Structure formats: C-alpha cells, structure tokens
C-alpha cells in the first residue's frame, strides 16, 4: 500500500516538472520564445501572457487533485467517519463559481487575442521615436517544392533564399503555383498559407540583423521536408548593395527557364535579374491551374527522398 | 416488446416497433437535411465559377423547370391522398393514389434527364467547371433520391398486394410518404435557390 | 492490368508486412479448419445481431487497429530519433503518418467507443437490444469492410499519402494520381455509413427503449454521453459523406470541386472536412467523459457530483462543437474579424469542459477512493487532460496560433487530449466492463503494469513535443535535420517505447486473464459497488439481457435495488421475451458494397456496378423480409436465471 501511495505522489510532481521544463526553455533558446522582430514579439507576448493563466489553472487543478486522492483514498490511516458522504451530489453556488471563473479567464484571454489579430493585419508600428517606413513588397510564391521570392521594386527574383532589410516591415504577398503551403519564419513571426488561385498578405519584420530559418510548414508531398530557405536580415545599405549586385550580375529569368523551375522537384538556390510576375499569375482563377496542367505526368513520379543531406541539389 | 399492441390510433403507430421505425426515419431525414444543406452550401460557394462553360442564365429555361415543379408538387399531394386512403383502411385507394404519385415522379425524372442531356449538349457537363459540378451533383443527388423512392415504392406496392394492410405494411407506406414529402421540400429549395436565382443572375 | 502493377513492390518493410499478413491469415484459416470452427464462426458471430457480440467484435477490431496504428507510430518514432539510419524514405513516411492518423481516429477510437456503447448502453437502460438489431449488424459490417479496404491499401495499390486531413489540391487527381487516395475516400465512406446508422440506432434505442419510469434525467451518465454523441454523429457525418463523395467524383469522374482547373476551390475541402472534423473530435471525447464519470463515481463509492451540470455541459459542448471549425485553419487568411469570432467560440468550449473537471474533482471530495485499474486510468486522465486542455486554449488564441499551427506544439496538444482522453477512457471502460463482457476480470497486477508503463511512456513521449513545436519543428517532417531537435526526439521515442510495452502487457493480460482469472459468480463484479442497471443482471449476461426490467425513478437505481433486495429476476413477473433472429444478410450486403468500393478504387467500373447491383438486390431482399423474430419462453428464462443466480 505504501508503494501505491508513493506512486500517487508522483502525479503531484507533474506541475513541478512543467516549471522545470519552462525554466529550461531559456537555455534551450527556443525560436518562438526568442522573437527577432515586432510580429514575433507580439505573438510571444501573447503566448507568455496566456501561459501565466494556464500555469495558474494547472496549479489549482493539480493541487486539488493531489489533495483529493491523498485525503480520500479508502485505506488512508486515520480516516474519519466524517470523511465520507455518499449522498453529497451537488451545490449550486459552487457550480456557478466554477463556471464564472473560466468565463472571466476566457474574456481576459480574448481581449489581447482580438487586438493582436487586428494589429497583425497591418504593417508593424515602428517603436517610439523611429520613423515609419514604407513596407518592402516581396511576392513569395511556392511550387512543389521550392520558394520564389520576387522583388518588384528591385526587379529581381531569388529561389530558395531571401534577403530583407532589418528594421523595415516586409509585406509578403503569398501565393502558390500548385499545392497549398505556408510561409513560416518562426523567429520573425507566425505563418500564413500560400494558395493557388488567391493571394494572402503577411507582414513580418526583423529588428535584428542575422540569418534565420524559414520553411514551408504545411505538408504538401514528398519534397516537403526540403522546402526550406534561409532569411538574411541585413542593414538597408547592405540589402541595397545586394539587390544592386543581383540586378547587375544575375542571369535573366526567361519564361522557358521559369517553366522548367516550376516542374515538381528540388532546386538549389538561384538568383535572377527580373521577376516571373509577368509570365503567369498563379493567384488568379486563370493562372492557378497552370502548373498542374503543364506537368500532369511529372506529378506521378516519385522523388525517393531518403536523407536530405544526400540530395546534392539541396542546400 | 412487440407483444404490446395498441388497439386504437393509426395502424403504423400501434406497435413499439412501428413507433421506433418512424422515429428513426425522422432522425434519418434530419441527417438528410444536413446532407442537402452541405450540397446547397457547396453550390452557393461555387456559384459564378463557370470557367469557360456557359453561364446558368444562358441555359436555365423557366418552362421545363415549372413543369417539373408542378409534377413533383402534385405527386406530393397525391402521396398525401394515398396515406389518407390508407388511414381510412382502403387498400384500393392507397394503391390508386400511390401509382399516380409514381407516374408523376417518373414524369419528373424524365424531364430531369432530358434537361441534363440538353445541358451537356450545350457544353455544360459535370467536368466543365466547378459551378457545373456543383449543379449536377446537387440536382443529381435529388434525382437519385427520387429514383430510389420510385423503386422502393414499387416494392411496397407488391407487398401490399401480397399482405394487405397490416401494422408493418402501413408503417412502410407511412415512412415512404415522409420520404416523398421531404424530396418535395428539397425540390422547392432547388427550384428557388438554383433555378430562379440562376436565371436572374 | 498486371499483378505487379497492383501489388506494392520494392519496399523491404512492405514485403515483410505482406509475408506476416499472409502467414497470419493462413494461421487463422488453419486454426478455424483444424478445430472445425467455421460453422461456429458463421452461426455465432458473423450472423449475430446481438448487441453484446457486435460490441465485442467492434472492440476486437479496434484493438487490432490500435496495434496497426501503433506500429505506424513506432516506425515514425524510430525514423525521427535515428534519422541517419535511412529507415524510411519521404514517401513511405508520408504514407505511414497518413494511415496512422486515419486509423487511430476512424478505425480505432470510434469503433472502440461504439463497441462499448453497443454492449453497455442497452444494459444501462434495461433494454433487450438495440431498436434495430439488423441495422446494428449492418453498421458493424460496414465499418469492418471499410476498415479492411483501408488496411489492404499498403500491399495492394499503395497507401494514401496526403495526411489524414487529405487536403486538396494535394489529394486531388492531378497531384495524387492512382488508387492510394481512393482507398482513403472509399474506406471512410463505407465505414461512415455504418457510423451514421449507429447514431440513429442508438438515439432511437435511448429515446424509446428505456426501463419503465426512467426519465431522460434518470439515465446513467454514459448513456447520456452516448445520446449527445449520437446527436453530433447525425448532424456531422452527412457533411463528411458529402465531402468524401465530392472528392471521389472529382478524382474518378473528373468533376472540378476541389481542383486547380475549371475554377475549382481547393479550400472548400478544408472547410467541409473540419465542419465534420471538429464535431468528430467531440464524438470521440464525450463518450470518454461518460466512461470516466461512471468509473469515478463507482470507485469513489459516491454519487456523481453535479449530474445535471455534467449533462448540460455535454449538450453545450456538442452545440459549440459545430461553431469552431475555422480554428483548424486560422492561417488561411480569412481576416481578423472571422478569426476573432472563431477564436472566442473556441475558447468558450473550455468553460463547460473546465466545469466537468471540477465536478469530477468534487466527486472525489468526501469519497472512498479505491485504486482499481479502471480508476487509475480515470484518475490519470484528469491531470493529463488538463495539460492538453490548456494548450488547446492557447492554440485557440488565433494570433498565437500563427506560431503554433502545423508545428509539434499542435501534435503534442491533440495527442494529449486524444490519448489522455479517449485512449485512457477506452482502457478504463474495457477493464471496467470486462467482467460483464467475458465473465472474468482482467488481472490487477498486470493491469497496473500496463497502466504505469503506458502512463509514463505517454508523458515522456508527448511532453517534449510541446517544446519541439516552440522551437519551430513542423509536423509531418520525415527527417530530423536540425541538430537542436534531435535530443528531444530521442526522449520522445523512448516514451513511445514505454507506451508500446504498456500495450503489449495489456494484450498479454487478455490472454493471462482468460487462462487464470477467477470466473465471476455475481453480476455485480466490483465488490458490489455497481450503481447502474448493467450490474443488476447476471454475468455473463443472458442473451435476452433482463428477465424482468425494474421500475426506475432515480439516477443510480441499482444502489437502492440492492438495499431493498430487488433483482432483475422477479419470478412472478417473467413474461416471454421477443428476440430478433440472427441473419447473414448484413454481412453479405456489406461485403458486396465493399467489393463495389474496391472496384471504384481501381476504377474497374464493371466490378463497381456488379457490387452495387448486388447491394440493391440485398436491399430488395430485406424489404420482403417479414421475419418477426421469436419469443424466449418463460420456462427457459426461469431456468437460465436460476442457474446463473445459483438459486
């Protein structure tokens, strides 16, 4: 019986382990909990805010639970007659209390959720004292299983890597040439879907220079794991210099070349001195079927992907 | 359970089995409502996505649809008369009105098939666009229900010839009448929200 | 078509599976023939319309599927912990997580719970059987053949590989050609028919066949949870039926609902799928709540706290379950307003759920807790489920969900609610009602081993996954190619091994208890602590269930019956009992529809039409079937009862 008693105590250790794990987070440097931009920051704030409520709930329930199973187990030594009341079956006051408290918690969670939701539809507001910058427009288009980033202002296009200026909002215009995917750069903020036949907008911003991981987070077939890209956040000057260099030195993206790239498969990083935006508009009803009609046969073939490192084409 | 049998009230409700079957069928109709609601919602969402196929306003004709509506509404009425006769205990009246109901139903089906074939000739098929897929599947599901209803009713007519009015046969006819009225209601929605709106826009 | 085009070739693991399936099949055939059990199988099981036998068949199938889905899970865990082995390639991994998800939800969780409902609900309300026993058999066989279809996919034709959600356009004909995805569509469609029929059947049973005097608010809480679940089934499953049918028509007949051509709208699939899919989540969790309520009240030896609140909270959860589907794709860009509305409705579900948790805790207050195996599973549910519940609320906060979506945070969350909720309940319910089903209990000591292995394994497996999600690891990733993710994945795999061991011990316990457990002599198996009518009849339960049905006008009727010395065998009141006849029709009918589905999967239209015509013929036969069953004589009932009660 003693062993059983101890085991039940074990359950009580769960909340402790949670706190232990959470304190471990700091060392583990988990991406979502280390925001590198205002969008990720606002989501981080929301997560941490909710986490306090959740911890509160967990502590209350675990404490009550531990108390009940220790105090009211049948063969606890020293049980009293008054510890058993088989006919106790309800209490309106207490039911109302434990209905109202969760309602209040839901209200407290809803308010920042809704305000954050509306904020995320707009470019991030600059910190106090800084000037408001026009967002940089980047068209992020996916095709199985690669990323095209088109910069209409600079008239350049990159494949599978992304350069952005830090401290300036980026307006991503997301679309897909075929399957549904999602642009996710956890260090900079949450994701949104890329869909053929429509365009979604996602605002992100880096407030620290650095290299971040970006990927497609929505499963879309065999090459899904390889559909990643690096994000280079750099100063405005460096970014402009880079754009200038691509514009001058990279080859032209012809319509034929773009068609080749659209075929399902993996590709290494590439740069072009113009964009594909004039060739085909994947986000329109007319353009959304372009790839599946053109490459109907290729979609039947398999990649037989084992380890991504072994794929030479992929870096 | 079946042992306890009421002595009064409509035949189909006298045994517990009868009551349960009818209740079960009502719940089934509830599920059917959800099924058709989903199809209607699909149709509404895909409205306007005709691609290169003809527009509904170019193809929908008021005449034929009005005839179909008239046929089906009348069949619902005659189906009601059939059940009325059944409640009076008249097997003959029941069979007579049920046969009329089926004839009207067959007429409806004939016009619907003609209509589908006609649209296909004009270049609107299941495959032509999202809108036409939704149209054919919505109207077709209703048409399939009517077809099944006709087949089912024929089986019941054979049974009533063999067995006369009993707790069981009257229950079966009562249930098929529920089914038939339900199809009528669905058609009214198809008539208004598919054909009338499709002709205007 | 050549045979090698149909069989899946080139994968050593699949060859192994083929061989073991063939050997297993041969072994079963041999045993049946050797012991001359074919007739027995057909007469006692395949043609049975007895709700208890059908329930047992449901549970056996579900355990088999738990094994299959578990093997899938273990293969994924091995791949993720040892990515350098090259154990699975991307395609194979994709097939495995697809079948894992589909099997666990559709062919494990639901049939397990429906099996328990089958056996227990008629007993709890004092009914002879289901309202429509024939339809009940039909439901089971439709599930069974749907399951069989889905499971043969990996040796014949290839498994579906677009995830259990099967999002279009990926799952459409253009990007997933071939039979794989058709297996998913037809397997689910066929078994879905059965689920809908069960929903209607149980609803009528509960509404019309209760013991005399038993009002709705006298019903046992598990029966209540079944009724509410049936309501969800009836209103949610037709949506799945339509969604699957539309995608099938797309794939096989070239329609344009979810295609990228012809102005189709792929996103509509996600909407239709989750309009069914979210209520589905509550289809598998509400019965679990019912089971926990029964077990906790029984082993706390106390009335359930706040019975009315428990019932109403289930009704509220059922209604809300239809209003939250968008939270599965907040990231689709529906706009801040839409996301806000669905965010709030999602979080509101936490209120009735929280109320239930507090009521369970209050049931423990001033109780006498006895730590039996079913009680261990039920108690472990409370703290474990809370961890899943609070993270569910966090996921419901749409703005934060942009970071959680599609990540391991989400994976951890839904395994926490589905395993700690549904799977724990399946184990709790099975162990709890095991003596009712088989006439003996499961061994306690082995039961504890199974519980503790599974319980710790579960937490070790899924708790680290929250942190993997926060570190940006997406779901459905076949390779752990970021070094920081590896350690937690290894821990997770260790936990999965623990769960697997727990399952093995559990299955061994079935065998061990069959051999060595004491046979039950009374109907009230748990030391006389039974509270509801299923414990009032004898064990094993006679096929007519109750010789006489008592008058019931309170919540736990058997407690007072015991005090007053009443039984379900009042000798003077015994009357002949009407019973349905066994029939092989449901089996043949659904086998034919299974054949038709198989034809559709490979687009062999002659086979499909043949199967469908066969199905229609079976329906016509049924329409002319006036078999009214038979009566059990008073003498036989008295004899059976006296023997079982030792009178």
Q: Report how far residue C166's alpha carbon sits from residue C246's, in angstroms, rounded to the nearest whole number.
A: 13
One domain for residues C505 and C618: no
**Tokens 């409902």 -> residue:** C117
Nearest residue in C to B158, CA atom: C624
Q: What is the pLDDT of residue C99?
A: 96
One domain for residues C614 and C638: no
C-beta of residue C426 within 8 angstroms of C-beta of residue C506: no
Report how many Cβ contacts below 8 Å link chain B to chain C: 124
Contacts of B48 (CB under 8 A, 6+ apart): B131
CA angle in degrees (0–180, nearest 5) for C371-C374-C375: 40
Domain range for A107 is 2-78+90-120
- In eight-state DSSP terms, residue C644 is H
- Structural domain contains residue B91: yes
Q: What is the pLDDT of residue A20?
A: 55
One domain for residues A149 and A289: yes
Q: Report how far residue B47's alpha carbon sits from residue B44's, in angstroms, rounded to the nearest whole number.
A: 5
Q: How confident is the model at residue A17 (pLDDT cuts 50, 70, 90)?
A: low
Contacts of A76 (CB under 8 A, 6+ apart): A70
> With an 8 Å Cβ cutoff, are A28 and C300 in contact?
no
- Structural domain contains residue A127: no
Tell me the mean pLDDT in the region C63-77: 96
Domain count, chain A: 2
Q: Which residues of chain C make contact with A86, given a CB cutoff of 8 A?
A: 301-303, 367
Domain count, chain B: 1
- Structural domain contains residue A315: no
pLDDT in tens, A66-79: 999 999 999 888 88
C613 touching B, CB under 8 A?
no
> With an 8 Å Cβ cutoff, are B20 and C204 in contact?
yes
When computed from its CA atoms, the radius of gyration of chain A, rounded to whole angstroms, is 27
Q: Which residues of chain C make contact with A218, given a CB cutoff of 8 A?
A: 406
Q: How does strand A146-151 pair with strand A136-143?
A: antiparallel
pLDDT in tens, A254-304: 999 999 999 999 999 999 999 999 999 999 999 999 999 999 988 888 888
Two structure tokens written together for C189: 């469609």
C-beta of residue C245 within 8 angstroms of C-beta of residue C253: no
| B4 alpha carbon, distance to own chain's centre | 34
Q: Which residues of chain A make contact with C474, given a CB cutoff of 8 A?
A: 184, 215, 217, 219
- Structural domain contains residue A36: yes
Q: What is the pLDDT of residue C12?
A: 76
Q: Name which of A54, A64, A292 is nearest C261 (Cβ-Cβ).
A: A292
Two structure tokens written together for C30: 């041999």
Q: What is the pLDDT of residue C540?
A: 87
Q: What is the pLDDT of residue A302?
A: 84
One domain for residues C41 and C26: no
One domain for residues C60 and C91: yes
Q: How confident is the model at residue C248 (pLDDT cuts 50, 70, 90)?
A: very high
Q: How does strand A200-204 pair with strand A170-176?
A: antiparallel
Tell me the mean pLDDT in the region A245-253: 95
Per-residue pLDDT of chain B (201 residues; tens, 9 = 90+): 444 677 788 888 888 899 999 999 999 999 999 999 999 999 999 999 999 999 999 999 889 999 999 999 999 999 999 999 999 999 999 999 999 999 999 999 999 999 999 999 999 999 999 999 999 999 999 999 999 999 999 999 999 999 999 999 999 999 999 999 999 999 999 999 999 999 887
pLDDT in tens, A89-141: 889 999 999 999 999 999 999 999 999 999 999 999 887 778 888 999 999 99
Q: Name which of C200, C201, C578 is nearest B1 (Cβ-Cβ).
A: C578
Instruction: Please enumerate, as own/partner, the contacts of B150-156 that have beta carbons within 8 Å and a separation of 24 or more.
Output: B150/B102, B150/B105, B150/B106, B150/B109, B152/B176, B152/B179, B152/C623, B153/B98, B153/B101, B153/B102, B153/B180, B154/B102, B155/C620, B155/C623, B155/C624, B156/B98, B156/C623
One domain for residues C146 and C14: no
Q: Report how far residue C342's alpha carbon sits from residue C397's, in angstroms, rounded to the nearest whole number.
A: 9
C284 touching B, CB under 8 A?
no
Q: How far is B133 from chain C (nearest CA, A)?
A: 6
One domain for residues A110 and A149: no
Domain range for B139 is 63-200
Q: How far is A34 from chain C (nearest CA, A)?
A: 9
User: Could you say which residues from 150 to 189 on chain C have a Cβ atom under 8 Å away from some Cβ of chain B?
Assistant: none
One domain for residues C169 and C154: yes
Q: Which residues of chain C make contact with B155, given a CB cutoff of 8 A?
A: 620, 623-624
C-beta of residue C134 within 8 angstroms of C-beta of residue C579: no
Q: How confident is the model at residue C71 (pLDDT cuts 50, 70, 90)?
A: very high
The share of chain A scoring above pLDDT 70, in percent, equals 88
> With an 8 Å Cβ cutoff, are C131 and B159 in contact?
no
- Structural domain contains residue B158: yes
Q: Name which of B20, B34, B133 is nearest C235 (Cβ-Cβ).
A: B34
One domain for residues A203 and A248: yes
C87 touching B, CB under 8 A?
no
One domain for residues A150 and A114: no
Q: How confident is the model at residue A313 (pLDDT cuts 50, 70, 90)?
A: very low
Instruction: Identify which of A271, A144, A128, A134 has the alpha carbon closest to the alpha carbon of residue A203.
Output: A134
pLDDT in tens, C444-495: 999 999 999 999 999 999 999 999 999 999 999 998 888 889 999 999 999 9
- Structural domain contains residue B49: no
Q: Report how far residue C495's alpha carbon sits from residue C480's, in angstroms, rounded to the nearest whole number.
A: 17
B125 touching C, CB under 8 A?
no
- Structural domain contains residue A243: yes
Domain range for C1 is 1-36
pLDDT in tens, A183-233: 999 999 999 999 999 999 999 999 999 999 999 999 999 999 999 999 999
Q: Report how far residue A3's alpha carbon sits from residue C371's, in angstroms, rounded to the nearest whole number.
A: 12
One domain for residues C91 and C192: yes
Q: Report how far residue C51's alpha carbon sits from residue C544's, in angstroms, rounded to the nearest whole number.
A: 10
All chains having 3 or more CB pairs closer than 8 angstroms to chain C: A, B
pLDDT in tens, C280-318: 999 999 999 999 999 999 999 999 999 999 999 999 999
Q: Which residues of chain C make contact with A197, given a CB cutoff of 8 A?
A: 260, 265-266
C-beta of residue B23 within 8 angstroms of C-beta of residue C208: yes
One domain for residues A148 and A250: yes
Supply the CATH number for residue B192's domain.
1.20.120.80
Task: Reply yes or no on whether the pLDDT at A82 is more than 90.
Answer: no
Instruction: Give all strands (DSSP E) within C318-418, no chain letters.
Output: none
C399 touching A, CB under 8 A?
yes
One domain for residues C159 and C97: yes
- In eight-state DSSP terms, residue C519 is B
Task: Reply yes or no on whether the pLDDT at A170 is more than 90.
Answer: yes
Q: How confident is the model at residue A26 (pLDDT cuts 50, 70, 90)?
A: very low
- Structural domain contains residue B94: yes
One domain for residues A286 and A201: yes
> With an 8 Å Cβ cutoff, are B129 and C578 in contact?
no
- Structural domain contains residue B32: no
Q: How confident is the model at residue A81 (pLDDT cuts 50, 70, 90)?
A: confident
Domain count, chain C: 3
- Structural domain contains residue A313: no
Supply the CATH number for residue C358's domain.
1.20.210.10
C-beta of residue A171 within 8 angstroms of C-beta of residue A189: no
Q: What is the pLDDT of residue A5?
A: 45
One domain for residues A246 and A188: yes
Tell me the mean pLDDT in the region A150-164: 96
- Structural domain contains residue A109: yes
Q: How far is C259 from chain B (nearest CA, A)?
A: 8
Q: What is the pLDDT of residue A6?
A: 43
Q: How confident is the model at residue C571 (pLDDT cuts 50, 70, 90)?
A: confident
- Structural domain contains residue B81: yes
Q: Report how far residue C283's alpha carbon sits from residue A116's, in angstroms, rounded to the nearest whole number.
A: 32
Q: Name which of C131, C242, C576 is nearest B35 (Cβ-Cβ).
A: C242
Q: Which residues of A90-110 are buried (b: 16+ CB within 10 A; e: fewer)?
A: beeeebeebbebbeebbeebb
Supply the CATH number for residue A100's domain.
1.10.287.90
- Structural domain contains residue B137: yes
Q: Report how far residue C59's alpha carbon sits from residue C170's, in angstroms, rounded to the nearest whole number.
A: 34
ipTM of the complex: 0.96
Task: Reply yes or no on whether the pLDDT at C349 is more than 90.
Answer: yes
One domain for residues C106 and C225: yes
One domain for residues A207 and A290: yes
Q: Report how far residue B36's alpha carbon sits from residue B42's, in angstroms, rounded to the nearest whole number.
A: 10
Give the DSSP per-residue string, B95-124: HHHHHHHHHHHHHHHHHHHHHHHHHHHTT-
One domain for residues C28 and C105: no
> With an 8 Å Cβ cutoff, are B127 and C626 in contact?
no
One domain for residues C116 and C6: no
């Amino acid at each position: 019986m003693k062993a059983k008693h101890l085991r039940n105590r074990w359950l009580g250790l769960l909340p402790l382990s949670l706190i232990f794990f959470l304190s471990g987070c700091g060392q583990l440097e988990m991406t979502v909990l280390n925001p590198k931009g205002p969008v990720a920051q606002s989501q981080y704030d929301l997560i941490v805010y909710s986490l306090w409520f959740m911890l509160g709930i967990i502590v209350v329930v675990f404490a009550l639970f531990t108390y009940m199973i220790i105090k009211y187990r049948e063969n606890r030594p020293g049980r009293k007659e008054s510890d058993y009341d088989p006919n106790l079956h309800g209490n309106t006051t207490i039911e109302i209390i434990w209905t109202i408290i969760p309602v209040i918690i839901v209200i407290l969670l809803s308010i920042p959720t809704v305000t954050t939701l509306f904020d995320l539809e707009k470019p991030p507001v600059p910190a106090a004292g800084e000037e408001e910058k026009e967002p940089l427009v980047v068209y992020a288009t996916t095709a199985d299983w690669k990323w095209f980033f088109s910069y209409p202002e600079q008239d350049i296009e990159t494949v599978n890597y992304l350069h952005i200026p830090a401290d300036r909002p980026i307006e991503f215009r997301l679309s897909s040439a075929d399957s549904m995917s999602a642009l996710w750069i956890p260090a900079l903020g949450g994701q949104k879907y890329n869909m053929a036949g429509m365009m979604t907008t996602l605002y992100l911003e880096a407030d620290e220079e650095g290299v971040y991981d970006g990927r497609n987070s929505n499963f879309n077939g065999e090459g899904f794991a390889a559909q990643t890209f690096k994000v280079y956040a750099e100063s405005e000057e460096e970014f402009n210099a880079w754009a200038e260099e691509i514009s001058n030195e990279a080859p032209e993206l012809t319509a034929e070349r773009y068609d080749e790239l659209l075929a399902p498969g993996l590709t290494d990083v590439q740069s072009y001195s113009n964009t594909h935006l004039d060739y085909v508009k994947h986000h329109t009803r007319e353009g959304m079927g372009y790839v599946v009609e053109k490459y109907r046969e290729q979609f039947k073939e398999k990649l037989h992907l084992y380890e991504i490192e072994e794929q030479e084409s992929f870096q | 359970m079946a042992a306890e049998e009421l002595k009064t009230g409509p035949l189909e409700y006298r045994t517990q089995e009868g009551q349960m079957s009818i209740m079960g069928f009502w719940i089934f109709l509830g599920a059917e409502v959800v099924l058709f609601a989903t199809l209607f919602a699909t149709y509404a969402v895909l409205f306007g996505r005709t691609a290169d196929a003809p527009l509904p306003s170019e193809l929908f004709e008021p005449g034929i649809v009005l005839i179909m509506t008239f046929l089906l509404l009348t069949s619902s009425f005659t189906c009601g008369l059939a059940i009325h006769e059944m409640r009076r205990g008249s097997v003959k009246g029941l069979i007579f009105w049920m046969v009329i109901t089926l004839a009207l139903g067959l007429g409806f089906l004939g016009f619907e098939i003609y209509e589908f074939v006609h649209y296909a000739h004009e270049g609107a098929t299941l495959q032509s666009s999202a809108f036409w897929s939704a149209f054919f599947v919505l109207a077709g599901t209703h048409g399939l229900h009517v077809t099944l209803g006709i087949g089912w009713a024929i089986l019941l007519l054979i049974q009533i010839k063999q067995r006369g009015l009993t707790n069981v046969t009257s229950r079966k006819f009562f249930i098929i009448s529920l089914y038939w009225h339900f199809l009528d209601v669905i058609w009214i929605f198809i008539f208004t929200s598919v054909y009338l709106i499709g002709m205007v826009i | 078509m050549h045979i090698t085009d149909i069989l899946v070739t080139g994968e050593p693991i699949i060859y192994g599976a083929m061989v073991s399936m063939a050997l297993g099949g041969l072994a079963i055939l041999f045993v049946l023939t050797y012991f001359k059990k074919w007739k027995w199988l057909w007469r006692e099981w395949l043609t049975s319309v007895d709700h208890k036998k059908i329930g047992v068949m449901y549970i056996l199938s579900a355990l088999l599927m738990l094994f299959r889905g578990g093997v899938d899970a273990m293969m994924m865990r091995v791949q993720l912990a040892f990515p350098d082995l090259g154990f699975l390639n991307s395609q194979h991994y994709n097939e495995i997580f697809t079948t894992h998800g589909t099997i666990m939800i559709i062919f494990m969780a639901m049939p397990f719970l429906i099996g328990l409902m089958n056996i227990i609900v008629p007993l709890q309300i004092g009914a002879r059987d289901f309202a429509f026993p024939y339809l009940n058999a039909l439901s089971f066989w439709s599930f069974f053949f749907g399951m069989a279809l889905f499971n043969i996919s990996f040796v014949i034709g290839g498994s579906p590989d677009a995830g259990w959600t099967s999002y279009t356009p990926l799952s459409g004909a253009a990007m997933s050609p071939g039979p794989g995805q058709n297996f998913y569509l037809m397997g689910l469609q066929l078994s879905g028919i059965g689920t809908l029929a069960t929903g209607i059947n149980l609803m009528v049973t509960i509404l019309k066949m209760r013991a005399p005097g038993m009002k709705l608010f006298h019903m046992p809480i598990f029966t209540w949870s079944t009724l509410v679940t049936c309501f969800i089934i009836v209103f949610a499953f037709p949506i799945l039926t339509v969604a699957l049918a539309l995608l099938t028509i797309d794939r096989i007949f070239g329609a344009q609902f979810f295609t990228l051509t012809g102005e189709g709208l792929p996103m509509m699939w996600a909407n239709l799928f989750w309009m069914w899919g979210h209520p589905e989540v509550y289809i598998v969790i509400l019965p679990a709540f019912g089971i926990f309520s029964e077990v906790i009240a029984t082993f706390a030896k106390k009335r359930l706290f706040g019975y009315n609140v428990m019932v109403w909270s289930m009704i509220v959860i059922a209604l809300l379950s239809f209003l939250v589907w968008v939270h599965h794709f907040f990231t689709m860009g529906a706009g801040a307003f839409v996301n806000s509305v669905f965010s709030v409705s999602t979080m509101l579900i936490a209120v009735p759920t929280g109320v239930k948790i507090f009521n369970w805790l209050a049931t423990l207050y001033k109780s006498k807790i006895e730590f039996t195996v079913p009680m261990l599973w039920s108690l472990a549910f409370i703290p474990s489920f809370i961890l899943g519940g609070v993270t569910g609320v966090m996921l419901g906060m749409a703005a934060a969900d942009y970071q959680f979506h599609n990540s391991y945070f989400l994976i951890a969350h839904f395994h926490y609610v589905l395993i700690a909720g549904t799977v724990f309940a399946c184990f709790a319910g099975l162990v709890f009602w095991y003596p009712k089903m088989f006439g003996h209990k499961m061994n306690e000591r082995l039961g504890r081993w199974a519980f503790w292995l599974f319980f710790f394994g579960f937490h070790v497996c899924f708790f680290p996954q929250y942190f993997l999600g926060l570190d940006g690891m997406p779901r459905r990733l076949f390779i752990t190619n970021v070094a920081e993710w590896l350690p937690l994945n290894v821990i997770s795999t260790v936990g999965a091994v623990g769960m697997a061991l727990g399952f093995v011990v559990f299955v061994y316990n079935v065998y061990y208890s069959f051999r060595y457990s004491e046979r039950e002599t009374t109907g009230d198996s748990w030391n006389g602590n039974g509270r509801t009518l299923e414990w009032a009849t004898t064990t094993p339960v006679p096929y007519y269930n109750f010789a006489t049905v008592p008058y019931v006008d309170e919540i736990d009727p058997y407690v007072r019956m015991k005090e007053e010395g009443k039984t379900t065998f009042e000798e003077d009141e015994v009357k002949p009992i009407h019973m349905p006849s066994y029939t092989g029709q449901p089996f043949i009918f659904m086998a034919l529809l299974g054949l038709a589905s198989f034809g559709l999967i490979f687009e062999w239209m002659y086979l499909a039409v043949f199967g469908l015509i066969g199905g229609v013929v079976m329906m016509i036969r049924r329409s002319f079937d006036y078999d009214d069953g038979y009566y059990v004589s008073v003498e036989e009932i008295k004899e059976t009862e006296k023997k079982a009660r030792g009178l």
